[in-house]
A = this chain, B = another copy of it.
């Protein structure tokens, strides 16, 4: 970790910058693959699955037998853990739905009744990465809010393993979330398939889910093809804000849990207590040595920073400027900090709230804005699977109240037909 002491304000921007990702070349690759999937459908999908994943897929649709096999293969202890995490995630997310369902009718002017109603997005596509680790927790984090929102069609794409199969834990979790349409497709071609639809995979209105740089570029490209996406993604990150009472071994464990995600992950330790820094460093070294993914974690730590500031206020300013995906407040007194947190994806309070709790089981969502997007984006929730429609019901009397206002404004905007749509009604009422 790079150590920075009391950085001057002019250097913050550079200090807190994430590594730039160049994706101009990737956009050209996306353009080509999207065009081919649009044109040739399943045939193109098959071709690219062979080209990129070296797997021959005859039918990319996961069969009933494969689901049944997953049911047999996933150990009961894991099923029970997934169910318990699922209950917490469901419990927390159901309350989001209550918060955003049908709004009250507002009648500010007599006879003019306005309100909003929430509707599920009809067709959603979930992408779940394959590769070295089977991220069944992501199935929970996307599948449960989709189910609560009431989306009509939920499609899940995930790349097949070398054996041409999908990880059993992913299949089992999909079923647990009520998802029956699972397809063996990964990377750019999977995103293209959900964008346009193929003979087998249905096209969708919005695509969700994390992925590597190819998937990220493909999702960005999909937005130019009239499909919505959950979030622009980037490498995962954590900022731990610690005071002198933080436990160095916990801080080190949290930094490492983020660092093991990938070489491009970024972890930041931010503190006004210089005395904890050597202790955290020693713990990092000790714990790192025991990790199976230590090479990945070590590479991530090399991109990472330990920032020592003079006080709590400066730390808060830096944390808000960094806008971390995960913010851990390892401080004795954190309640007074909460109102000061302006930009973060998910916040973990105190010494006993590791990021892993939110990654799996506390109930909050783990699909969160990275790369300082927390300045403008929320994490995924039930609202991500819905949209709001406004309604207005206007009586004759109501329109007569509004008419003079609308007519003056429309005339001043030189939109005479807008004015006429009111005037013709006003005249009819007057008769």
- Which positions 207-265 of chain A face chain B at CB distance < 8 Å? 220, 223-224, 226-228, 232, 247, 249-250, 253-254, 256-257, 259-261
Smallest CB separation, A104 vs chain B (Å): 6
**Chain A residues with a Cβ under 8 A of chain B:** 77-78, 81-82, 84-85, 87-88, 91-92, 95-96, 99-100, 103-104, 106, 108-109, 112, 114, 116-117, 119, 121-123, 132-137, 169, 205-206, 220, 223-224, 226-228, 232, 247, 249-250, 253-254, 256-257, 259-261, 287, 290-293, 297, 338, 341-365, 369, 371-379, 381, 383, 387-396, 398-399, 402, 404-406, 408-410, 412-422, 424-425, 428-429
Contact across chains for A408 and B77 when beta carbons are under 8 A apart: yes
Complex interface: chain B residues within 8 A of A421 (CB): 250, 253-254, 256-257, 354-356
The one of B103, B122, B371 that contacts A226, using a Cβ cutoff of 8 Å: B371
Q: Are B132 and A414 in contact (CB under 8 A)?
A: yes
Are B392 and A361 closer than 8 Å at their CB atoms? no
Q: A387-B377, A414-B133, A416-B292 are in contact. Are A353 and B88 (CB under 8 A)?
A: no
Known: A256-B420, A365-B390. 19 other contacts (CB 8 A): A88-B108, A88-B109, A88-B112, A92-B108, A92-B114, A99-B100, A100-B100, A228-B377, A287-B424, A345-B389, A346-B389, A350-B394, A352-B425, A356-B419, A359-B406, A361-B405, A364-B392, A374-B387, A378-B388
Complex Cα spacing A15 to B71, Å: 45
Number of copies: 2
Of A136, A253, A350, A373, most B-chain CB atoms within 10 Å: A253
13 pairs, A vs B, C-beta closer than 8 Å: A77-B408, A109-B363, A112-B363, A121-B376, A133-B415, A253-B420, A253-B421, A254-B421, A260-B418, A346-B392, A348-B394, A351-B425, A374-B387
Complex: A236 Cα to B169 Cα, angstroms: 46
B394 contacts A424, CB within 8 Å?
no
Chain B residues, CB < 8 A from A77: 408
Residue in chain B with minimal CB distance to A108: B91
CB–CB A116/B136 < 8 A = no
Contacts of A408 in B (CB 8 A): 77-78, 81
Within the complex, what minimum Cβ distance (angstroms) separates A81 from chain B?
A: 4
- On whether the beta carbons of B420 and A287 are closer than 8 Å, the reply is yes
**Complex Cα distance A414/B130, Å?**
12
Closest chain B residue to A321, Cβ basis: B122
* CB <8 Å contact, A361 and B122: no
Residue of B nearest to A252 (CB): B424
CA distance A389 to B428 in the complex (A): 51
Q: Chain B contacts of A228 at CB under 8 A?
A: 373, 376-377
A420 to B114, CA, bound (A): 52
Across the A-B interface, the 6 shortest Cβ-Cβ residue pairs: A228-B376, A378-B388, A354-B421, A91-B108, A353-B394, A81-B408
> A396 contacts which chain B residues (CB < 8 A)?
352
What is the bound-complex CA distance between A135 and B117, given in angstroms?
28
Asked if A122 and B375 sit within 8 Å, CB to CB, the answer is yes
CB contact between A205 and one of B103, B375, B412 (< 8 Å): that residue: B375
A417 close to B260 (CB less than 8 A) = yes
A119 touches B389 (CB 8 A): no
Q: Are A362 and B103 neighbours in the complex by a CB distance under 8 Å? A: no
